[in-house]
């Protein structure tokens, strides 16, 4: 059968550097850091006392106050970005076949804030017997955001959550892409959200020595590809894309941001938390995406890298890029959004795919900020075009976005400029 073409017709974002897509993009290309001292809880006794938090978020702008109380923060973010994306797409829901509109939306962790709160309350008051919020379980589970979005709009199409740690929302986009091109849906609301800046989240990652401890300078702590990088900075928020079958989009006169060209998936099969030192899984996932898109390495203009600012992870991704792209690796642009947003965990893939789409649409490559120390990591090839510190204008016909998750889960999406 001939596969259908899939385009992006709507975007939504809640991030540490902006609570809408336009605000996010403006701050991204201007190199604004979203990092600062943690306000969600008292982090004064933690090794890491800062994060990239969402600012000035008011759930009641999107959800009735009573309903919001039934949701963990990660679900509130999901509802917010889904509403922005659906509105942006111009979908007239009442005129659509709701059986052909689905929701594939994930979280890497889910309602950890709710879990922490409920278990803490039980531990403090267990002499009074077990007392739990009746919404404890539906607030906590990582599939509930997808369910809440479908309930809000009455979407009866494919509906489920994806969970693959930091690759989660890229996996969600890949699944949505495949279902639409196979004719299983006309439209799918896809992406991910996360709200893990809690004592358990920060404490857990601290115990693994995964987070930066640069407490004296939070805004410069996320520094991918710099020799002094010492771990990632935790972020939070959500990203949502409206993926739509091309003919369906054209029939309703939708604006089209970009086309999804292909996706790739792979597994490291190596370690619980560390990427393969030679980047084998990263290499395979990019090769798979290029094959799926029927593209050559030379077709790619920009890579929005996973680039978490960890000592080992940054090196392995660069090794993989050099192997896959060869000489062309020196001609394309490379940058990491996480230098500004921090690591949004399960939401990272969706937010970074949005950044890639906007790079294609606007002809601007966002920078990797916080590179100040020169070319002094012998494991990093600084002759590559890392787009350090300042955005670069260039035509971006094709962009590739990488995400890699604990457990060795790798997912990649390629977007391209839409053409008839």
User: Are 415 and 357 contacting, i.e. CB atoms less than 8 angstroms apart?
Assistant: yes
Helices (H), 49-129: 65-68, 73-89, 112-125
Pairing of strands 159-160, 101-106: parallel
What residues are paired with 375 via a beta bridge?
none
Kind plus residue range of the DSSP H or E element containing 357: helix 348-362
CA angle 338, 145, 288 (to 5 degrees): 55
Query: Rounded distance, CA 269 to CA 163, Å?
Result: 17
- For residues 226-254, b (16+ Cβ closer than 10 Å) or e, as one string? bebbebbbbbbbbbbbbbbbbebbeeeeb
Quick one: which H or E segment has residue 320? helix 311-325
Dihedral, 11, 13, 18, 20 alpha carbons, nearest 10: 50
Strands 258-267 and 409-416: antiparallel
Please say whether the beta carbons of 214 and 33 come within 8 A: no
What angle, 0 to 180 degrees and rounded to 10, lies between the N-to-C axes of helices 348-362 and 168-181? 60
Strands 258-267 and 6-14 come out as antiparallel
- Which of these is catalytic: 248, 306, 371, 409? 306
Structure tokens at 174: 């890949």
The single-letter DSSP state of residue 236 is -
Catalytic hit among 166, 240, 276, 412: 166
**CA atoms of 81 and 84, how far apart (whole Å):** 5
| Gap between the terminal Cα atoms of the chain | 21
For 238-289, give the secondary structure using H, E and C: EEEEEEEEHHHHHHCCCCCCEEEEEEEEEECCCCCCCCCCCCHHHHHHHHHH
Tell me if residue 166 is catalytic: yes
Query: Active site includes 271?
Result: no
Catalytic residue among 248, 276, 343, 371: 343
Q: Record the tokens describing residue 201, joined without a space.
A: 């989240």
Question: Known catalytic residue: 409?
Answer: no
Task: Tell me which residues are annotated as active site.
Answer: 166, 306, 343
């Amino acid at each position: 059968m001939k596969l259908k073409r899939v385009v992006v017709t709507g975007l939504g974002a809640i991030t540490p550097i902006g609570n809408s897509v336009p605000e996010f993009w403006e701050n991204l290309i201007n190199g604004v850091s979203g990092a600062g001292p943690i306000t969600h809880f008292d982090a004064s006794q933690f090794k890491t006392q800062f994060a990239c938090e969402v600012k000035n978020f008011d759930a009641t702008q999107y959800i009735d106050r009573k309903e919001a109380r039934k949701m963990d923060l990660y679900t509130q973010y999901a509802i917010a970005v889904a509403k922005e994306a659906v509105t942006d797409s111009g979908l007239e829901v009442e005129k659509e076949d709701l059986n052909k509109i689905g929701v594939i939306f994930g979280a890497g962790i889910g309602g950890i804030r709710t879990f922490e709160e409920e278990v803490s309350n039980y531990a403090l008051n267990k002499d009074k017997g077990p007392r739990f919020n009746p919404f404890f379980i539906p607030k906590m589970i990582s599939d509930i955001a997808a369910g809440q979005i479908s309930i809000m709009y009455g979407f009866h199409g494919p509906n489920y959550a994806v969970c693959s740690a930091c690759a989660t929302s890229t996996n969600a986009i890949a699944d949505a892409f495949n279902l639409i091109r196979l004719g299983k849906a006309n439209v799918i609301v896809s992406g991910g959200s996360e709200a893990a800046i809690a004592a358990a989240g920060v404490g857990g990652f601290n115990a693994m020595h995964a987070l930066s401890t640069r407490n004296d300078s939070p805004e410069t702590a996320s520094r991918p590809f710099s020799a002094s990088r010492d771990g990632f900075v935790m972020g939070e928020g959500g990203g949502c894309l409206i993926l739509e079958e091309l003919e369906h989009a054209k029939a309703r006169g939708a604006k089209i941001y970009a086309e999804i060209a292909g996706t790739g998936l792979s597994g490291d099969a190596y370690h619980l938390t560390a990427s393969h030192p030679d980047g084998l899984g990263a290499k395979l996932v990019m090769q798979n995406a290029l094959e799926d898109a029927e593209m050559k390495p030379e077709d790619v203009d920009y890579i929005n890298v996973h680039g978490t600012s960890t000592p080992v992870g940054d090196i392995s991704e660069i090794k993989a890029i050099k192997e896959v792209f060869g000489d062309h690796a020196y001609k394309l642009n490379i940058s990491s959004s996480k230098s500004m947003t921090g690591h949004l965990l399960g939401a990272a893939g969706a937010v970074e795919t949005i950044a890639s789409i906007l790079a294609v649409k606007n002809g601007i490559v966002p920078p990797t900020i916080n590179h100040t120390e020169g070319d002094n990591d012998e494991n990093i090839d600084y002759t590559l075009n890392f787009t350090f510190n300042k955005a670069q204008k260039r035509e971006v016909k094709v962009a590739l976005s990488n995400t890699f998750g604990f457990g060795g889960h790798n997912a990649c999406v390629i977007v391209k400029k839409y053409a008839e």
